[in-house]
Amino acid sequence: MIKPDRIVTTTCPYCGVGCNLQLHVKDEHIFKVTSPFDSPVNHGNLCVKGRFGYDYVYHPKRMTTPLVRRYLLEGKERPENREQRFEVVPANGQSVSNHLVSNLLDWVETDWDTALNFVADNLTRIYKRDGSDAMAVYACAKATNEDNYLLQKMYRAIFRTNNVDHCTRLCHAGSVVALQQATGSSAMSNTASQVIQNDVFIVTGSNTSENHPIIALQMKEAVRQHGAKMIVIDPRRIELVDFAEMWLPLKPGTNVPVFSAMAHVIVKEDLVNHEFISNRTEGFNEFIESLDKFTPEYAEEISGVPADDIRKAARMYATADKAAIYWGMGISQLSHGTASALALINLAFLTGHIGREGTGLNPLRGQNNVQGASDMGCMPFHYPGYMRVDNDENAAKWEKAWHIEAGGLSRKLGLTTTEILSHAHEGGIRALYIMGENPMMSEPNLNETRKHMQQLEFLVAQDIFMNESGAFADVFLPATPFAEKDGTFSNTDRRVQRVRAAHAPRGQARVDWQIICDLATRLESRLRVNTAKWDYSNPEEILREMGNVNSDYTGITYDRIDKVGLIYPVPTLDHPGTPTLFTESFPRGRGKFHPLDFVPVMEEPSDEYPFILTTGRVLEHWHGGSMTRNSVLNDAYPEARVDMNPADAEIHGIRNNDPVCVTSRRGEVILRVTVTEKTSVGVVFIPFHFAEAAANLLTNDALDPQAKIPEFKACAVQVFPARESDLPNPDAVLNRGRY
Ligand code: SF4
């Protein structure tokens, strides 16, 4: 048995559950991951990603040297098409980074000074010429709170722009906007571990077993050991259906009629909580008027869910002593994602299942630190702490904190991720800085995204791998993964936990916050301003600066979160944290009911495109695949597959494992089919992790008008047999999509 040199306790870099990890390190190399049994988040349990998915840290393709394009070094014009397509090649004893460089004729390895000077010179040039509206930045839901806070500070304090966003826009923006409108807060109201206190709970739009496996374990425990009743409302026959009292298999995009019909039943049968409604809410009368048309029969016609099942689910939820709702991106990733989340919030207000332990409204956040990146203000409408940027009082607080003249910060709402790219043209966004995100995998309608990426005048990629988006960059800055940095992540429970470095960065890679400070100092010197602080000696200093203004984090110190973290709001240094929100009131005062209408998805099936495509994750992989596809996890799930119901497969003459072509109005992919009852008749499912068959080549870029989240969960597609020889090479994971 190998004896570790040290065991470092940290937080998982994958999903929002935030499991505690123990990294066993020998000779500056992690060789094993375990978890402490006394962790309040995961009690020693880990899923396959947390347990085995760490080896990407040592993958030969890790980028560990800054890169600059040759045309920049030679002072030449940027070529028209700067996207570099390149093959993934075996390391053959030499670093693939070097191999890539020798094969990419116009990338040149360089030192940090040279790379950062090119970034500072070009960002300064564009800012001086075109002003704040030409500048934009993508923050990163995988990076720490400290990294994200500094990145948005650099863009707001130096470039005076709110064009700051990150992938929360692409996952839970609908939930965030709905919760803000109805309650004044935007996070989960209760903790996931409270599920064992539920009598009844609804899981909707969430394949929890694959996306949040440890929360799924707790849900199963609630059913098996504590007698809770689970209602699954989902188009797919997800694993949790085996444990559920009821499964309501609705058609994708028909959430509002189903949830509103449940509200209709609760009102009609007088199962409402009158005391809660009268003491804690507003807008009830207008709301119940809007429910008239949402009879269970009307909802059945639209959603396919039998009216009697809607009635039964409504009664179960309303009459429970403690009931909660857990939801995922099947609710929010729609062009009416905000309305879908509001329909769930209406149910909680009607029944008073909010503001107590074992109840609540719980959007399960996707990435490890998407909650934290949002808390840190990496959004175009909010400073850290969800303070609106168009409010003078809020702006004044951050002007003071960042030593900026009164009125200096922009009050103009910024652009969202998808808007930033669609504004990439003359007179719009000219320079984009991407920290750790991969829009060429995560944005909808990738063929269109590709055109936008080409339009950027200057692009910086700061990442650990050269990914599909980095291929468009002018400068590449090699950063560090979770195992090489200190800081904090905030999980889906609002629990702020420590991240600790297991060893030093590989090669010349640097931690993100230090790269940002170094760049910000260079920018200030070129722009002859000397305002905000950039000379931090450690990440805790950064978190304290943010917490001095954002009262949710004021009482959080690294000392206090050393062992098990703290659940914010933590307004003072002796506050114990707040696992359950809204016990007395809502941040906006009264909870607001929202009358809703049914708006169909933007693309209904047609003769030409008869299937609805829905997209999501699988257990073994994570997002654009940068980490998991460069890990042993890729051996367990090596290629993209499309799930199709057996009845559909038979009609189309398709057998399990056959190659098929899936086309939409925007693109096509070729991949193998899995014939499975998991997906309903008329619905196909493709995970979005695989560059060689990127699901987002097909998805629709129609946006929710309020949250600006794209409609990833429903678009119309056709599926037909393809030839074996048309299948893409699954080993070529970089830039091999058919675009
Ligand atoms: Fe990591 Fe999420 Fe798995 Fe926990 S459930 S080990 S946080 S990926």
Sign of the CA dihedral with 535 first, then 540, 545, and 550 last: positive
- State the pTM of this model: 0.93
Spacing, Cα 634 to ligand 1 middle (Å): 17
Which whole number is the average pLDDT over 133-154?
A: 98
Spacing, Cα 21 to ligand 1 middle (Å): 9
Indicate if ligand 1 lies below 6 Å from the C-beta of 213: yes
Spacing, Cα 149 to ligand 1 middle (Å): 24
Spacing, Cα 333 to ligand 1 middle (Å): 22
Residue 25, pLDDT > 90, answer yes
Indicate if ligand 1 lies below 6 Å from the C-beta of 13: no
Residue 739, pLDDT > 90, answer no
Per the model's pLDDT, the better-predicted residue between 99 and 415 turns out to be 415
Per the model's pLDDT, the better-predicted residue between 736 and 63 turns out to be 63
pLDDT for res 77: 79
Give the C-alpha separation, 500 to 482, whole Å: 8
Three-state secondary-structure class, residue 64? coil
Which whole number is the average pLDDT over 392-412?
A: 96
DSSP annotation of 202: E
Atom of ligand 1 nearest to the CA of 41: 4
Most ligand 1 atoms within 8 A of CB, residue of 10, 45, 193, 212 to mutate: 212
Within a domain: residue 606? no
Residue 7's H or E segment, with its range, is strand 6-11
Which whole number is the average pLDDT over 7-33?
A: 97
Residue 734, pLDDT > 70, answer no
Residue 94, pLDDT > 50, answer no
pLDDT for res 708: 86
Cβ contact 205:332 at 8 Å: yes
Within a domain: residue 243? yes
- Asked if residue 238 and residue 313 are part of one domain, the reply reads yes
CATH number, position 130: 3.40.50.740
Weakest mean pLDDT among 104-113, 185-194, 301-310: 104-113
Residue 183's H or E segment, with its range, is helix 173-183
Give the C-alpha separation, 694 to 43, whole Å: 36
Spacing, Cα 713 to ligand 1 middle (Å): 23
Indicate if ligand 1 lies below 6 Å from the C-beta of 18: yes
Strand ranges inside 187-301, DSSP E: 200-204, 229-233, 246-248, 281-282
Q: Is 6 exposed, middle or buried (0-12, 13-18, 19+ CB in 10 A)?
A: exposed
Question: Prior bond to 569 cis, omega within 30?
Answer: yes
- Asked if residue 522 and residue 438 are part of one domain, the reply reads yes
Within a domain: residue 39? no
Which whole number is the average pLDDT over 661-678?
A: 96
Spacing, Cα 9 to ligand 1 middle (Å): 14
Within a domain: residue 277? yes
What is the radius of gyration, based on Cα positions, of the chain?
25
Weakest mean pLDDT among 15-19, 530-534, 671-675: 530-534
For ligand 1, atom 4: residue with the closest CA: 19
Residue 701, pLDDT > 70, answer yes
Indicate if ligand 1 lies below 6 Å from the C-beta of 195: no
- Asked if residue 426 and residue 297 are part of one domain, the reply reads no
Three-state secondary-structure class, residue 706? coil
Residue 111, pLDDT > 50, answer yes
Spacing, Cα 562 to ligand 1 middle (Å): 20
Atom of ligand 1 nearest to the CA of 622: 8
Most ligand 1 atoms within 8 A of CB, residue of 10, 11, 42, 215 to mutate: 42
Spacing, Cα 210 to ligand 1 middle (Å): 10
Spacing, Cα 367 to ligand 1 middle (Å): 10
Residue 209's H or E segment, with its range, is helix 208-211
Which whole number is the average pLDDT over 460-470?
A: 94
Distance of CA 675 to the CA centre of its chain: 29
Spacing, Cα 365 to ligand 1 middle (Å): 12
Residue type, 638: P
Cβ contact 39:26 at 8 Å: no
| pLDDT grade for 738, boundaries at 50, 70 and 90 | very low
Indicate if ligand 1 lies below 6 Å from the C-beta of 49: yes
Domain stop point among 349, 364, 379? 364
Indicate if ligand 1 lies below 6 Å from the C-beta of 50: yes
The length of the chain in residues reads: 739
- Asked if residue 628 and residue 491 are part of one domain, the reply reads no
φ, ψ for residue 432, nearest 5 deg: -125, 140
pLDDT for res 72: 86
- Asked if residue 387 and residue 360 are part of one domain, the reply reads no
CATH number, position 676: 2.40.40.20
Atom of ligand 1 nearest to the CA of 17: 7
Give the C-alpha separation, 466 to 107, whole Å: 12
Q: For the chain, how far is it from start to end, CA to CA, in angstroms?
A: 48
Cβ contact 590:596 at 8 Å: no
Cβ contact 200:228 at 8 Å: yes
- Helices (H) and strands (E) in the chain — how many of each? 24, 30
Residue 644, pLDDT > 60, answer yes
- The C-alpha angle with vertex 13 and arms to 195 and 414, in degrees rounded to 5, equals 90
Cβ contact 253:714 at 8 Å: yes
Cβ contact 615:348 at 8 Å: no
Residue type, 17: V
Question: If we measure between CA atoms, which residue out of 280, 300, 255, 288 comes closest to residue 595?
Answer: 288
Give the C-alpha separation, 365 to 168, whole Å: 9
Indicate if ligand 1 lies below 6 Å from the C-beta of 15: yes
pLDDT for res 184: 93
Weakest mean pLDDT among 126-130, 231-235, 713-717: 713-717
φ, ψ for residue 239, nearest 5 deg: -60, -35
- The C-alpha angle with vertex 329 and arms to 325 and 330, in degrees rounded to 5, equals 80
| pLDDT grade for 736, boundaries at 50, 70 and 90 | very low
- Asked if residue 465 and residue 384 are part of one domain, the reply reads yes
- Asked if residue 427 and residue 395 are part of one domain, the reply reads yes
pLDDT for res 411: 98
Within a domain: residue 36? no
| pLDDT grade for 730, boundaries at 50, 70 and 90 | low
pLDDT for res 607: 95
pLDDT for res 82: 63
| pLDDT grade for 171, boundaries at 50, 70 and 90 | confident
pLDDT for res 118: 96
- Asked if residue 715 and residue 690 are part of one domain, the reply reads yes
Within a domain: residue 59? no
Distance of CA 309 to the CA centre of its chain: 32
Indicate if ligand 1 lies below 6 Å from the C-beta of 719: no
Residue 97, pLDDT > 70, answer no
Within a domain: residue 202? yes
For ligand 1, atom 6: residue with the closest CA: 50
Within a domain: residue 726? yes
Per the model's pLDDT, the better-predicted residue between 168 and 366 turns out to be 366
- Asked if residue 559 and residue 465 are part of one domain, the reply reads yes
- Asked if residue 704 and residue 725 are part of one domain, the reply reads yes
- Asked if residue 156 and residue 191 are part of one domain, the reply reads no
Atom of ligand 1 nearest to the CA of 35: 6
For ligand 1, atom 3: residue with the closest CA: 47
For ligand 1, atom 1: residue with the closest CA: 50
Domain of 497 in residue numbering reads as: 67-77+96-170+369-567
Atom of ligand 1 nearest to the CA of 214: 5
CATH number, position 279: 3.40.228.10
Domain stop point among 331, 364, 397? 364
Residue 95, pLDDT > 80, answer no
Which whole number is the average pLDDT over 36-47?
A: 93
Residue 518, pLDDT > 50, answer yes
- Asked if residue 480 and residue 546 are part of one domain, the reply reads yes
pLDDT for res 710: 86
Spacing, Cα 599 to ligand 1 middle (Å): 35
| pLDDT grade for 578, boundaries at 50, 70 and 90 | very high
| pLDDT grade for 100, boundaries at 50, 70 and 90 | very low
Per the model's pLDDT, the better-predicted residue between 168 and 507 turns out to be 507
Residue 26's H or E segment, with its range, is strand 20-26
Atom of ligand 1 nearest to the CA of 48: 3
Cβ contact 175:341 at 8 Å: yes
Write out pLDDT tens, residues 346-394: 999 999 999 999 999 999 998 999 999 999 999 999 999 999 999 999 9
pLDDT for res 89: 33
Number of structural domains the chain divides into: 3
Residue 342, pLDDT > 50, answer yes
Domain stop point among 364, 386, 409? 364
Residue 651's H or E segment, with its range, is helix 646-651
